[in-house]
Every structure is written in C-alpha cells, then in structure tokens.
Amino acid sequence: MNELMTNNNHGLIKYLQNRELGLVLPTPFERDIYLFETIVAGTSHIENIADIEAQLALDDKLVFYREPDNRFDPQAIKIATLKGDKIGYIPKKDNLIFSRLMDAGKELFGKITRKEKKGQWTKIEMAIYLHES
C-alpha cells in the first residue's frame, strides 16, 4: 500500500501520471482556457508540410514544445501534431508571454481553427489554450 501513497517513480501513481501511455485521468476543476488566436509560423520551412497538412483537420490538437536554446529566438515554441510531426512555431511576435507560462510549468496547447493553401504557403490558423488542472 505504501507504494500507492508515495511518488517514488514506481507503482500505480507513476503509471497513472504517465500521459505518454495514453491514460489521462481528469482532475476536479480541470478545464481548458482559451487565450489567443494566431497562425503557425514557418510552415514553408517544413519539408513534408503538404503531406502533414493533408492529415490535419479542424479542431486537431497541437502540442507545444519550448526551445530555449533556439539560435533564432530564445522564446521559441515548436508546434507539433499529436503524432510528433513538426509543423512550425508560434510566431515570434506572439510567443513572449506563452514561453514564460511554459517555463513556469503551465501546459499550453493549440487547436486548428482554419487551414488553407496560398500558393506555396500553407496557412494554418490555431487557437491557443491553457490547460488548468
């Protein structure tokens, strides 16, 4: 019973807290808070963006990863699909507050609100949310 009460990287608690396994248990008062609407920057630099874009649908969840060592922007936030395909970044003009929130341990994510092809450019619009648990 003791291994259930302590988080020592073993036992049931470790298993239940591991979101990579696909098991996500809701917590009381858990909610997603809408923060902002923006585009995905840098899609034209993604080699296989046409293949990835073809698999994207409205309301698809996007995962954010901080890149504090990014040589172009220390506040960079990479955007990927749930499959792990990189599709771009939060625009530099928008990422300062979001990077600070993520650095403080807050969980942010995106949802696709619109996508379209404009010549060679794939425009993906998204809403940014803060997951509060």
User: What rounded mean pLDDT belongs to the chain?
Assistant: 88
Quick one: tokens of 29?
Answer: 């008062």
Q: Other CB atoms closer than 10 Å to residue 10's CB: what's the count? A: 10
Q: pLDDT of 110-120, one tens digit each?
A: 999 999 988 88
Query: Residue 12 — very low, low, confident or very high, per pLDDT cuts 50/70/90?
Result: low
pTM, rounded to two decimals: 0.78
Q: How many CB atoms lie within 10 A of CB 65?
A: 13
Q: What type of residue is 53?
A: E
Beta strands per DSSP E along 1-133: 31-39, 61-66, 77-81, 86-89, 107-118, 121-132
The arithmetic mean of pLDDT across residues 74-88, rounded, is 98
H/E stretch holding 96: helix 95-103
CATH class of the domain whose range is 27-132: alpha beta
